[in-house]
């Protein structure tokens, strides 16, 4: 019997690499002959994982984490027709059946058939259907023909894996944030959050032709990382308000498009930059986005948060000034990124060297055994995107 090892969530601030079950083509009583088993080539640590590891969700102890997966097919179920053993594939973090109404409309982040509790599923994630995570040596991926993006050439894929590994989540997610904020040629964009999603959204905005991309955060290393590929930055620990700092850069206190790459653990601005203020980003984006502009919200908001700042926040009720957004006719786009909408064109942009997202987010490759330390350093605000290489397949 083949063996497996994976990164297991044990409780707040406690993850460990353990021996785990080798995957089967099933989930509980559900047969998954439409699935494949992947040898994991690269699997990334995400800010979404951190929400769980910080104890800010109802994630159960024993959950194998990991929803950002690139792998090589080692076994295909009998119903898989177009994916073969040996293929190197990118796995969208959303699990989608390809058969339901939402999948047929391209809304693969809210598939109706993969999570009995609610629309939408993901690997290794709380409330997301119980699918086993991929921060492991091996993982099972269902509905393989529909979900997987096969790279055209295995050798080339391994050569460019630092960029391609970002196709499972943050590059499409950041790009989706920019697209849904209406970014196009000549746009002036503000991106809240200089974590990997914010930096991927900045790189995505540049690919879309933005004239000016401004990234805001409180962590100096992350702001420096944003400047390293041509972004302007706003330091939210300063007393000057966000609008005032945007005014200094743009010449007016508003932008065309804004993207929330922070989510519900947002901190306040200025003297409150060490205090959690979950609605700060949403409210400040309404303030600085021009009337008629759009706001992309990939940052995660939850329906249950045991660590919420008050009783309202604990159930996801935030003090949002919707009257302001209404008065300015803002568009808002929330939810999981439907990765499949973007991963193929973004793959082509990477393969044809039109974009280098790995440089933007500072991809840093680590072994599976180094993953618990990676979680700690990422939590401290390292300006890095940690990519776990469980089999030593990524050239250093
Ligand atoms: N919608 C999706 O499909 C999707 C996919 C992936 C990640 N996400 C979410 O995107 C968010 C960002 O992910 P990440 O990996 O970059 O996480 P991260 O935690 O590394 O980055 C968040 C950054 O926001 C900064 N920040 C806090 N308060 C701020 C404020 N008021 N203004 C500006 N910056 C502020 C933090 O200092 C941090 O650098 C998370 O909520 C994650 O769950 C959503
Ligand atoms: Zn992710
Ligand atoms: Zn579906």
Ligand 1 in contact with 36 (CB < 6 A)? no
Domain definitions of the chain by residue range: 4-169+340-388, 174-333
Ligand 1 centroid from CA 143, angstroms: 29
Q: List pLDDT tens digits, range 113-150.
A: 999 999 999 999 999 999 999 999 999 999 999 999 99
Q: What is the pLDDT of residue 1?
A: 63
- Options 3.30.920.30, 3.90.180.10, 3.40.50.620, 3.30.43.10; CATH for 4-169+340-388 is 3.90.180.10
Q: Could you tell me which CATH number the domain at 174-333 has?
A: 3.40.50.720
Q: List pLDDT tens digits, range 302-327.
A: 998 999 999 999 999 999 999 999 99
Ligand 1 in contact with 188 (CB < 6 A)? no
Cut 0.95: pTM above it: yes
Decide the pairing of beta strands 255-260 and 289-296: parallel
Q: Is the pLDDT of residue 334 over 90?
A: yes
Q: What is the pLDDT of residue 213?
A: 99
Q: List pLDDT tens digits, range 213-248.
A: 999 999 999 999 999 999 999 999 999 999 999 999
Pick the atom of ligand 1 nearest to 200's CA.
16
Ligand 1 in contact with 50 (CB < 6 A)? yes
Q: List pLDDT tens digits, range 180-210.
A: 999 999 999 999 999 999 999 999 999 999 9
Ligand 2 centroid from CA 74, angstroms: 24
Ligand 1 in contact with 336 (CB < 6 A)? yes
Largest CA distance in the chain: 65
């Amino acid at each position: 019997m083949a063996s497996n090892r994976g990164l297991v969530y044990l409780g707040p601030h406690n993850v460990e690499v353990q021996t785990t079950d080798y995957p089967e083509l099933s989930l509980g009583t559900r047969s998954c002959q439409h699935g494949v088993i992947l040898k994991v080539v690269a699997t990334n640590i995400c800010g979404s994982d951190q929400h769980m590891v910080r104890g800010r969700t109802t994630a159960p102890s024993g959950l194998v984490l990991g929803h950002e997966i690139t792998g090589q097919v080692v076994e295909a179920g009998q119903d898989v027709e177009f994916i073969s053993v040996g293929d190197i594939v990118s796995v969208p973090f959303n699990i989608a059946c390809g058969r339901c109404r939402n999948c047929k409309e391209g809304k693969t982040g809210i598939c109706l058939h993969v999570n009995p509790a609610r629309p939408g599923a993901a690997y290794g994630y709380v409330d997301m259907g119980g699918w086993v995570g991929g921060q492991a040596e091996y993982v099972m991926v269902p509905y393989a023909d529909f979900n997987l993006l096969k790279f055209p050439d295995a050798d080339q894929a391994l050569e460019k894996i630092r960029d391609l590994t970002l196709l499972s989540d943050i590059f499409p997610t950041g790009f989706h944030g920019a697209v849904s904020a209406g970014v196009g040629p000549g746009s002036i964009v503000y991106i809240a959050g200089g974590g990997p999603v914010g930096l991927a959204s900045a790189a995505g905005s540049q690919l879309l032709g933005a004239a000016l991309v401004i990234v805001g955060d409180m962590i100096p290393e992350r702001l420096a990382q944003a400047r390293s590929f041509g972004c302007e930055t706003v330091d939210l620990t300063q007393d000057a308000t966000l609008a005032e700092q945007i005014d200094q850069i743009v010449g007016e206190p508003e932008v065309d498009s804004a993207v929330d790459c922070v989510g519900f653990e947002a901190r306040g601005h200025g003297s409150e930059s060490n205090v959690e203020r979950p609605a700060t980003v949403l409210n400040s984006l309404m303030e600085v986005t021009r009337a008629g502009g759009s706001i992309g919200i990939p940052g995660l908001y939850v329906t249950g948060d045991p660590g919420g700042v008050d009783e309202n926040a604990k159930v996801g009720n935030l003090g949002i000034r919707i009257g302001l957004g209404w008065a300015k006719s803002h568009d808002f786009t929330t939810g999981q990124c439907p990765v499949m909408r973007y991963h193929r064109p973004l793959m082509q942009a990477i393969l044809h060297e039109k974009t280098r997202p790995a440089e933007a987010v500072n991809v840093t490759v680590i072994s599976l055994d180094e993953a618990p330390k990676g979680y700690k350093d990422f939590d401290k605000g390292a300006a890095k995107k940690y990519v776990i290489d469980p089999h030593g397949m990524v050239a250093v």
